[in-house]
């Protein structure tokens, strides 16, 4: 047994991952499985769930994969019920389901606000409500929510999404205290820009981040996030390596959250304003 296997305590544990068949969720499931975790996944994308089932079957992994909508409490309840029947334990919950669209707030309507809260906030509440009694019965567990850097800064064009993700951040802090005596830890992972198929659909070519130069200016480490940057953080928080960590947020974002308005301009280096040369009209 390696040092990591021994310290992490992941082998043989059980994790529910909502939105676990594609994008960040798939990377998280792959890394958990690699460390001996038995996954229970719900995902709305039926092509992705079929592919995941095939992959897990080929690797002879003990797993549950449901086609379903993480916004639907009945679908979530059915997944947790199968976890009970199959394994009778639950160690980890990773809340990945979420998403957004870009629009200035004044151009949005209550229907859109409702959709954003239903996609981002309520699935976390429902999944936590289902997970906690099961984790308590097993003597503890770890809940990890995928939020975003936009929960920690202003996000023009994404006002309600960022508010919903910020609500999860605050919810997690309170839940961490309420559940600490029961051995349940609650933490968040807040990525910045990680190109996934869905993100490309939202941002498209209009994304400022689509240029390498823009990435070097805006992200201190000078590269986009990788799915593995996020999944590694989740593995850490799911594992006993983080046994004394609760109510916290990890920022796998290449320093973007820390930079808070400072940009690394190609000629001028670090400035917290636009370089003069860019403000001077060309001759
Ligand atoms: N990609 C990024 O740069 C980024 C940055 C910050 C935060 N996030 C957050 O990470 C999460 C995942 O983002 P992603 O880029 O991997 O997106 P994604 O759309 O690829 O989502 C991952 C998986 O979740 C599934 N899913 C989406 N809605 C679902 C629903 N209602 N029910 C069941 N499954 C559903 C998708 O089918 C997909 O397989 C989201 O909560 C997002 O807000 C992403």
- Over range 26-40, report the average pLDDT: 98
Is the Cβ–Cβ distance between 41 and 17 less than 8 Å?
yes
- Separation CA 280–CA 262 (nearest Å): 20
- Separation CA 168–CA 38 (nearest Å): 26
Which among 66, 162, 154, 164 has a CA at the least distance from the CA of 119? 164
Question: 140-150 pLDDT, tens per residue?
Answer: 999 999 999 99
- Separation CA 99–CA 201 (nearest Å): 11
Question: 57-93 pLDDT, tens per residue?
Answer: 999 999 999 999 999 999 999 999 999 999 999 999 9
- Separation CA 160–CA 107 (nearest Å): 12
Residues taking part in catalysis: 161
Domain ranges of the chain: 3-196+224-246
Cα 278 to chain centroid, rounded: 36
Strand 184-189 relative to strand 263-265: parallel, antiparallel, unpaired? unpaired
Cα–ligand 1 centroid distance for 9 (angstroms): 27
Cα–ligand 1 centroid distance for 19 (angstroms): 6
Residue 121: how many other CB atoms lie within 10 Å: 19
> CATH assignment of 3-196+224-246?
3.40.50.720
Q: What are phi and psi for residue 194, nearest 5 degrees?
A: -125, 105
Is 184's C-beta closer than 6 angstroms to any atom of ligand 1?
A: no
Which among 210, 102, 200 has a CA at the least distance from the CA of 156? 102
The string of DSSP letters for 233-278 reads HHHHHHSGGGTT--S-EE--STTHHHHTT-EEETTTEEESS--HHH
Cα–ligand 1 centroid distance for 264 (angstroms): 29
- Separation CA 271–CA 268 (nearest Å): 7
Rg (CA), the chain: 20
Residue 199: its pLDDT value, please? 79
Evaluate if residue 206 carries a pLDDT over 60.
no
Cα–ligand 1 centroid distance for 96 (angstroms): 6
Is the Cβ–Cβ distance between 9 and 77 less than 8 Å?
no
Evaluate if residue 204 carries a pLDDT over 70.
no
DSSP secondary structure code for residue 155 in this structure: -
Is the Cβ–Cβ distance between 5 and 202 less than 8 Å?
no
Q: Which residue's CA lies nearest to atom 41 of ligand 1?
A: 98
Residue 180: its pLDDT value, please? 98
Evaluate if residue 262 carries a pLDDT over 60.
yes
Q: Which residue's CA lies nearest to atom 39 of ligand 1?
A: 22
Residue 208: its pLDDT value, please? 59
Pocket test for ligand 1, best of 70, 73, 77, 99 (most atoms within 8 A of CB): 99
Is 193's C-beta closer than 6 angstroms to any atom of ligand 1?
A: yes
- Separation CA 118–CA 72 (nearest Å): 9
Sign of CA dihedral 44, 47, 52, 54: positive
Evaluate if residue 200 carries a pLDDT over 90.
no
Is the Cβ–Cβ distance between 249 and 233 less than 8 Å?
no
Is 166's C-beta closer than 6 angstroms to any atom of ligand 1?
A: no
- Separation CA 47–CA 87 (nearest Å): 26
Q: Residue 198's pLDDT band (boundaries 50, 70, 90)? A: confident
Q: Which residue's CA lies nearest to atom 23 of ligand 1?
A: 19
Is 96's C-beta closer than 6 angstroms to any atom of ligand 1?
A: yes
Pocket test for ligand 1, best of 17, 23, 77, 228 (most atoms within 8 A of CB): 23
Q: Which residue's CA lies nearest to atom 1 of ligand 1?
A: 194
Q: Residue 197's pLDDT band (boundaries 50, 70, 90)? A: confident
Q: Which residue's CA lies nearest to atom 40 of ligand 1?
A: 98
């Amino acid at each position: 047994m390696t040092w990591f296997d021994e310290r992490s305590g992941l082998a043989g544990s059980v994790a529910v991952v909502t939105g676990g068949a594609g994008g960040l969720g798939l990377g998280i499931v792959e890394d958990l499985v690699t460390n001996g975790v038995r996954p229970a996944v719900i995902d709305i994308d039926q092509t992705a769930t079929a592919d995941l089932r095939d992959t897990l079957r080929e690797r002879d992994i003990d797993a549950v994969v449901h086609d379903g909508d993480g916004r639907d409490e009945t679908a979530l309840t059915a997944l947790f019920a199968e976890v009970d029947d199959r394994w009778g334990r639950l160690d980890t919950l990773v809340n990945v389901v979420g998403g957004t669209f870009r629009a200035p707030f004044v151009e949005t309507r209550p229907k859109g606000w409702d959709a954003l809260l239903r996609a981002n906030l309520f699935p976390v509440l429902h999944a936590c409500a289902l997970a906690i009694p099961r984790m308590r019965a097993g003597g503890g567990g770890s809940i990890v929510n995928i939020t975003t850097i936009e929960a920690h800064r202003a996000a023009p064009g994404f006002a309600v999404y960022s508010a919903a993700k910020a609500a999860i951040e605050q919810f997690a802090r309170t839940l961490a205290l309420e559940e600490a005596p029961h051995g349940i830890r609650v933490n968040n992972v807040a990525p910045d820009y990680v190109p996934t198929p869905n993100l490309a659909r939202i941002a498209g070519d209009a994304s400022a981040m689509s240029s390498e130069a823009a990435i070097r200016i805006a992200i201190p480490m000078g590269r986009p996030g990788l799915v593995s940057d996020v999944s590694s953080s989740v593995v850490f928080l799911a594992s006993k390596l983080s046994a004394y960590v609760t109510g916290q947020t990890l920022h796998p974002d290449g320093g973007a959250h820390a930079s808070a308005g400072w940009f690394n301009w190609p000629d001028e280096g670090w400035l917290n304003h636009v370089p003069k040369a860019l403000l001077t009209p060309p001759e």
